[in-house]
Amino acid sequence: MTETAAAKQIQGRTGPWEIVLGLEVHAQVASNAKLFSGAAVGFGAGPNAQVSLVDAAMPGMLPVINRHCVEQAIKTGLGLKAQINEWSRFDRKNYFYPDLPQGYQISQYKDPIVGEGEVSVERDDGSVFTVRIERLHLEQDAGKSLHDQDPNFTYVDLNRAGTALMEIVSRPDMRTSEEAAAYVKKLRTILIYLGSCDGDMEKGNLRADVNVSVCRPGAYEKYRETGDFSHLGTRCEIKNVNSFRFMQQAIEYEARRQIEILEEGGSIDQETRLFDAVKGETRSMRSKEEAHDYRYFPDPDLLPLQLDPAWIKRIEAELPELPDAKKARFQSQYGLSPYDAGVLISEQARADFYEAAAKGRDAKLVANWVTNELAAKLTAGGIAIENSPVFPGAIAELVQLIEEGVISSKIAKDVFERMWLGEGSPSEIVEKQGLKQVSDTGALEKIVDELIAANPDQAAAVKDKPQAIGWFVGQVMKATGGKANPGAVNQLLRAKLGL
C-alpha cells in the first residue's frame, strides 16, 4: 500500500469523502524543575504545593531558562531527524484564563528551537508511512481549574503552571484515525527511548490536539502537489485527547459530523472542540483563534537562545539507540521477523528484558516466550514488564532446558505456570515435580513395542495412511504422562512401522 493510497473513504449521501489529520502533541519535558523557575515538578503533590513566586506571576519576578529542558528539546529534535535551530527565541502568547496567572503564556512562535523533521510510522498491515514534523517548540503549561470542589466556586491549582512542555506539530499527513493513533504511539515510544518525556498519558504528560477536516477524493493529492491548503476543508481542533481509543473515536465522530453539515449545504466553522468520552461525541468549546488574536511579541524578560554547535554535537553523540535502529538490529542480530522485532521494541523495557534473556540462547524461542506466554500473563495482571515476577534469567534458563531436550515445549508451559506462581527456578521445578523429558530410547522402545503389538490393525494401516502415526505418538505421550521426547518417539515409531 503506498502512502497516497492510504486514505479511507467515507460514503456520504452525495458521494465519498476523505479525512485529513494533523496533530499537535504536547509532551511534558522530563525534568525535576519547571521551564522558568526552580519549583519542583511531580504528580500527586497537594494543591499549590509546587508553586514558586515566578509561577504565581508575583510582581517583579523574572523567568530564568532551565538549561536541562533546552537539552531535552534538542535531544528530541535530533530523535525526530529534525533541524536544530541554533538561534531561537521566546514569545508571549496573550490570552486570559483563570489558571494562567501572568495573563500570557511564554511560548515560541516564529523562531522555534526545532524545525522540520519526520517520523516513520508502521500501519497494522506492516506498510509504512511518513509523518512530516513542522516544528517543535518549548512552552510553559498552565495551571488547572477545578470546578467540582464546590457548587459556588472554581478552585485553581497552579502546580502545573510553568511546567515545561514540548509542542510537536505535524503536517496534515495522516488520513485515518488508525494512522493518527499509530503516529502518537510511535512518537511516544521515541520520547520514552530518549528519556525526554515519560509518555504517561493517564497523568496528562502526553496529550494531543487533533486537527480534523474532510475533503473530496483527489483534493488531498492536489494539496500535496502544490502545498496549497485551499484544496483542503476547514479544520476543527479537538483539544487535549489523552487516550489512543478516545482519539480514534473523536476523529471518526468529528469527520461524520463535518460530512453531514457539508452535505446539508452548510459550512464548517473553524473552532476548538472537546471530546466527551461518555457520549462519544465532540462539542464546541470556543471559536478557533488565529495567531494575530494572541498578539504574539518577543518576551522582553528573556534573551534569545543561542545554542553552541559543539553542545548540539555532544548531545547527538550521546543519543541512545532509537526504535527504528533497534528493530533493524533485532532482525539482523537475532534473526527475528519484522513483526516480532516490532513488538519487542515497542516498549524500551520489553526490548531490554528480551536482550537480557536472549544472551547465548535460541533468540527466536526467547522472543516467542516474551511476546506470548509472558506478555499474556503481564497483560492479564496489569503488570509492567519491569515489575515481572519472572526475570530474564529465568526465561533464559527455561529456553535452555528446552534446547537441551530436558523438557518439551509442552512441559515448559507447565513449568512456566509454576515459575509465575513463585515455585522456584525452572530447573528446581523440573526436578521437584519430576518433569524431565523421557529421552531414554530403551524405555521408549519398550512402550512402542507393546503399543504396536496391542494394535496390529492400526499398525498395518499406517503404511497406507502415514498421518495416522499421530495416534501412536499420542498414546506414547499418554503412557509417559506427556514426558516422552516427541522427536525420539517419532523416530522410533517410523523405524518400527516401516515408514
Could you tell me the pLDDT band of residue 194, with boundaries at 50, 70 and 90?
very high
User: What are the CA-CA distances from residue 294 to residues 23, 38, 105, 109, 144 (Å)?
Assistant: 20, 27, 10, 11, 20
Q: What is the DSSP string of 94-145?
A: E---TT-TTSEEEE--SS-SB--EEEEEE-TTS-EEEEEEEEEEEEE---EE
How far is residue 119's CA from residue 145's CA, in Å, rounded to a whole number?
Answer: 34
**Nearest C-alpha neighbor of 135 from the set 185, 172, 84, 90:** 84
Instruction: List the beta bridge partners of residue 19.
Output: 214
Prediction pTM value: 0.86
Angstrom CA distances, 233 to 51, 230, 249, 258, 322, stand at: 42, 7, 20, 10, 36
Residue whose grid cell is 533546552: 70
Give the DSSP H/E element, type plus range, for residue 9: strand 9-12
Lowest-confidence pick of 68-72, 128-132, 208-212, 469-473: 469-473
pLDDT tens, 12-41? 999 999 999 999 999 999 999 999 999 999
In tens, the pLDDT along 317-376 reads 999 999 999 999 999 999 999 999 999 999 999 999 999 999 999 999 999 999 999 999
Cα gap 426→428, rounded to integer Å: 6
